[in-house]
A = this chain, B = another copy of it.
């Protein structure tokens, strides 16, 4: 239905090759020819079919954006930044919602059918093997918010979750808490495991600190609330390092329902610093994850892999920092 190369060529009275050349930059076309072709093209309202050309060039400019985090508000920011960043570079995001799927086979097949030039896996809960499966299938891949590995097999861009755990521990100790707890996300998520490990390691350096832990079912408000309600049945800890901000907000809600005060009775520190954490009626002390840097860097990396698919895998970790708000008691 829409006009094709052939239509333009006929109308301009030139060869199809000539038309193709005026629309691929770097090709040799005389000014006269270009004028003629452009005239015919605009008259017909022609624009080249990207998919047809991908057949011969081997490039679709399609990037698979794969995620399973469609319930955590911070991922709206993530999608916003990714789509804008990709668009700015002339790339198109083909979105894949994993829902509860953790087997990459389906997504790989699907994304290969559409010949995506590369894939960004955006998830803090999927294991490194997930992204690796793409690489093994010959698809350039970057795992954003993925698990750090000292000898990474795929590009990983994110934060050092263990270091964040240590950071949270230091912050709680600095504020004089002695009886602390980790209220993590799902135990199977790599981010949960790493944050917990770091948290424990650091606390082990300090004497006389008691530590407990438990895990919520998901990184979600309801899961955080439910888990904290359960904790409140017994004597709760003095302060909790929660798996992330949504979880923290759920916990806050449980605490205020039970009549206790934050930070008076219980302290909370989260992780992410999503927009909502700064809302005045939440005012959560948390650890900021530099989302936009992570995403810029991920895009830069996937773009560079389009030129050089064999690029040696690297881990890019960005520093986090504590954002002090109102849910931890002040230092004495």
Query: What is A's interface to B at a CB cutoff of 8 Å?
Result: 1-2, 47-52, 54-55, 60, 62, 65, 70-73, 75-77, 79-80, 83-84, 87, 92-97, 99, 109-110, 112-115, 138, 221, 225, 249-250, 252-254, 256-257, 275-276, 279-282
Contacts and interface: CB of A to CB of B under 8 A. Distances in A.
Nearest to A90: B110
A52 B55 contact: yes
B52 A2 contact: no
B60 A70 contact: no
A73 B73 contact: yes
12 contacts: A47-B113, A49-B115, A65-B95, A83-B97, A87-B96, A92-B94, A93-B95, A94-B94, A225-B280, A252-B281, A253-B280, A254-B280
Instruction: Specify how many copies of this chain sit in the oligomer.
Output: 2
A80 B51 contact: no
Given A51-B55, A62-B94, A92-B110, 7 more contacts: A50-B113, A51-B115, A52-B55, A70-B76, A70-B79, A92-B94, A225-B280
A65, A109, A138, A253 interface centre (most CB from chain B within 10 Å)? A253
A259 to B, nearest CB: 13
B279 A249 contact: yes
A99 B84 CA distance: 8
Nearest to A76: B76
Nearest to A2: B112
A52, A109, A256 interface centre (most CB from chain B within 10 Å)? A52
Contacts of A221: 275-276, 279
Contacts of A115: 49-51
Given A71-B76, A256-B281, A51 B249 contact: no
A80 B99 CA distance: 8
B65 A70 contact: no
Contacts of A48: 113
Contacts of A282: 281
A256 B276 CA distance: 16
A221 B225 CA distance: 22
A140 to B, nearest CB: 12
Contact of A112 (B47, B73, B114): B47
Contacts of A1: 138
Nearest to A55: B52
A147 to B, nearest CB: 24
A138 B2 contact: yes
Contacts of A52: 55
A257 B279 CA distance: 11
Contacts of A49: 113, 115
B92 A114 contact: yes
B97 A249 contact: no
A95 B83 contact: yes
A51, A77, A93 interface centre (most CB from chain B within 10 Å)? A51
A97 B84 CA distance: 6
Nearest to A65: B95
Contacts of A253: 279-281
Contacts of A109: 47
A73 B76 contact: yes
A253 B276 CA distance: 11
